[in-house]
A and B are shown apart, each in its own frame.
Chain A
């Protein structure tokens, strides 16, 4: 089942950790955001394969923006 990894808050995309095609377990890091002067890893809730990455390093994302899609 496809699942979307969503930004919880306004942030900079600091590091992209996962690449399209990667198979991730639940709790793996997809990207690291920077907000409130902190580096905040965004983790998967379920296992899946990275079907799509929708952001690049340096992007500014808003709350609710889709960062990646897992299949």
Chain B
């Protein structure tokens, strides 16, 4: 059978008051100073809950008590969480969970499993109704892993580890030798699994990001056009349209200074999903990132974006969609990875979204990816394009090579580039190019890079209603 590896030396046990894992300390760091009010007993249930304000927004929070049995979740502790959810639903307030728990309490047997399931049920019923943010500060195993996973945003602190089964079980069942860091730390969940939305480099950073999210989602404010000034959004783009570039500076320029909070920055980095403020109001920005995979859509990026679209829609957050996409990533790997099924999620997410959603095509939008990036046909509020943008089934040269294959092969090889260019120019005139897209109404207006920020803000402001429209659906963790 298995041998138990030697546990790392534990620091001497601190009195509970001095223990940084004490949930009273963690909750105090989350709420605005002096606003915390406990709504559960500070006892040995393993959970503590409170209300207070976060950046002035009334919020509810609960926190694992890692000083009691490593934060293991029993019947009483789970009830604390369920009651916190009832309170947040009644108050229509955001709820933040601070997690540090080894999972269900073994000694309670199936009673604790039942109780953990009640939390999952409460989270699911609250999904899309109130913003749910999870902050994983220590191990979150088993039930404590699926709790955060059911919520809208998962933040991982440097000591956070999320896994269903721990290293000992993995070793005994599969023989794999893996530690908690490699199994469920920032690297695997930040880059590979997509479980974690935001990586933090300290516990206080993690809690700070939870505060920003509670504010962005819980206090969306109004869009004040008078505060929106234009910047040259093309300022960070290379001159050559063939050259890939990092889209992050463009997204930062679109949003109010320093307000952007990127979700899933390292996972599926060929698309970026960022919450921030525009004219003071919370908006979501989705942008292809040509620096990674050329900005192609693929199965993971489509899934990432579709979850973001649905979250924003559920909470009434308007969307800006910045498009520079060469198509779907071709390949056996993608097809077998379910790019059809997972790509369909993005079509569905945009198609059902009721929030204002404004698209800007900066350089190109080709093929099926053109549709998936909030095309007019999916109900976009407005589709803008920059002069010279291409909206087409594929690049003109690639298209004429298919359409005029025989004619091209009939000429001498050294003359082929010239005839391809000639045919491509003709093709672009009749089938592609932004003028044709405007003519048939799939691009509504050509705008300059220097006027795009105000144009997007104006369209969002014009389409906003009071109260803001929001999708009538939950936010299933796609």
Contact = CB atoms under 8 A, between A and B. Distances in A.
Interface of A: 8-10, 35-41, 43, 63
Given A8-B293, A9-B294, A63-B333, A39 B244 contact: yes
B291 interface: yes
Main secondary structure of the interface of B (DSSP, over half): loop
Given A36-B327, A38-B326, A43 B291 contact: yes
What interface size band does chain B fall in?
Answer: 10 to 19
A1 B333 CA distance: 31
B395 A37 contact: yes
B318 to A, nearest CB: 30
19 contacts: A8-B293, A9-B293, A10-B331, A35-B294, A36-B294, A36-B296, A36-B327, A36-B329, A37-B242, A37-B398, A38-B243, A38-B294, A38-B295, A40-B244, A40-B291, A40-B294, A41-B244, A41-B291, A43-B291
Contacts of B46: none
B6 interface: no
A41 B293 CA distance: 10
A39 B326 contact: no
B290 interface: yes
B240 interface: yes
A25 B294 CA distance: 22
Contacts of B240: 39
A53 B240 CA distance: 26
A52 B326 CA distance: 32
A36 B326 contact: yes
A37 B326 contact: yes
A10 B332 CA distance: 12
Given A9-B329, A36-B296, A36-B329, 14 more contacts: A9-B293, A9-B294, A10-B331, A36-B326, A37-B242, A38-B326, A39-B242, A39-B244, A40-B290, A40-B294, A41-B244, A41-B291, A43-B291, A63-B331
Interface in B235-286: 240, 242-244
Contacts of A39: 240, 242-244
Nearest to A42: B291
B292 interface: yes
B234 to A, nearest CB: 17
A36 B327 CA distance: 8
Contacts of A38: 242-244, 290, 294-295, 326
A37 to B, nearest CB: 6
A66 B243 CA distance: 22
B231 to A, nearest CB: 22
A41 B290 CA distance: 10
A26 B327 CA distance: 29
A41 B240 CA distance: 13
A41 B238 CA distance: 12
Contacts of A41: 243-244, 291
A43 B293 CA distance: 12
A6 to B, nearest CB: 12
A41 B331 CA distance: 21
Nearest to A9: B293
